[in-house]
Amino acid sequence: MTVPQTTRTRGQEGARALAAELSKLVSLPATWLTLGGTLVVNLILAIAFTIAGLRGSTGTGSAPDIGLASIGYAQAGFVVLGVLAACSEYTGGQIRTTLTAMPRRALQFTAKHVALAIVVLPAAAITAASGVVLAAGVLGDAAAPVTSGRVAGALSGVTAYLALTTLISAAVGALARQTLAAVVVLLGYLFIAGPLLRDHVSAAKYLPDSAGVAMWFPPAGDAGAVTPVRGALLLMAWTAALMAVVVLGYRRWDM
């Protein structure tokens, strides 16, 4: 037998939990199908937005504005990814294997979310950049001029927004423990309730979806609008608060 019998330290335990959670994510076909599908759908939508932009009666927008418009829909893919990462634990009784291998639940929960962030950040950056590159390529000189600082700002804003949205989705998934229920709640909020609240209730700008959109979509000269930095801080606070609330329950539940 080649099993080393050593007692591990806390740091080692955390690193190993992270390695295990990363291994779980990358060996789940659904991870790659979701990320790949999202990228493809995002590109198709970006093409549609670019064509619509070329025909636009109000003048052509800048490449990041047009190329990132599709993110509003593509975020659904990241929501699904987050929910699947959490809810796949409940298929085949895997959660019992997870919790007997990593019984300290708060640590395991944190490791899972960190692993998810590690996988999602590059994927979100690629998805965001793909739309902008496509729009810039197709529009060429027809696009409204824009500084490279604004492009970098918008791209990092979108990337952070998608990553945080994925983490929120994973936390909601861990709370619901049912893929479809979690997806319904999240998409119902992001696509139906959120936009309508934004139109009718002014305090809605501090909710996670509106605060998040403020990170990359420039507020239209409204003095009371949330700035990108404050939007980022708000969304991070929402994410941290939600994860903290869920982990409180997650530590106590019978699995």
Partner 1 sequence: MITIDNLVKRRGSAKILSGVSFRARPGRVTGLLGPNGAGKSSTLRILLGLDRATSGTALIGSVPFVKLRDPLATVGAMLDGSGAHRARTGRAHLRWVARSAGLPRARVDEVLEIVGLTNAASKRVGGYSLGMGRRLGLATALLGDPEILVLDEPVNGLDPDGIRWIRTLLRERAASGRTVLLSSHLMGELAATVDDVVVVNEGKVVADGTLDEVTGPYGTLEDAFFALTTGGAP
Partner 2 sequence: MKALAAEASKLASSPAVWIAAAAGVLVPGVIAAITASSALGAITRGTEANAAIDTGYQELAFGVAGAIILGVVGVSGEYVTESAESGGGRQITTSLTVVPSRLRFLLAKMSAIAVSGALLAITATVTTMGVVRVVLGEHAPAWGADDVPRLAGVVCYWAYTALLASAITVLTRHGVVPLAVLIANTSVVSVTYLLTKITPLANYLPDMAGVRMFIRQLADSTAEISPLTGCLVMTIWVTVLLVIAVISFTRRDA
Interacting residues toward partner 1 by CB under 8 A: 1-8, 12, 16-17, 19-21, 23-24, 27-30, 88, 91-94, 96-97, 99-104, 252, 254-255
Q: How far is the CB of 42 from partner 1 (least distance, A)?
A: 24
- Tokens 């509003």 sit at which residue? 72
Alpha carbon distance 75, 92 (integer Å):
28
User: Quick one: what does residue 180 bind among partner 1, partner 2, none, with the CB cut-off 5 to 8 Å set by partner type?
Assistant: partner 2
Cα–Cα distance, 76 to 82 (Å, whole number):
10
What span, in angstroms and rounded, lies between the C-alpha atoms of 160 and 220?
Answer: 21
Q: Where are the alpha helices (DSSP H) in the chain?
A: 10-26, 29-55, 63-67, 71-87, 94-101, 105-139, 148-176, 179-187, 194-200, 208-213, 228-250
Specify the residue, 34 or 239, whose C-beta has the smaller distance to partner 1.
34
Which residue ranges make up the site for partner 2 (CB under 8 A)?
A: 37, 45, 48-49, 51-52, 55, 72-73, 76-77, 79-80, 83-84, 87, 90-93, 95-96, 177-181, 183-184, 187-188, 191-193, 195-197, 200-201
What is the closest distance, in whole angstroms, from the C-beta atom of residue 17 to partner 1 in the complex?
6
Q: Quick one: 66 or 151, whose CB is closer to partner 2?
A: 66
SS3 7: coil
117 binds, among partner 2, partner 1, none (CB under 5 to 8 A by kind): none
d(CA 122, CA 119): 7
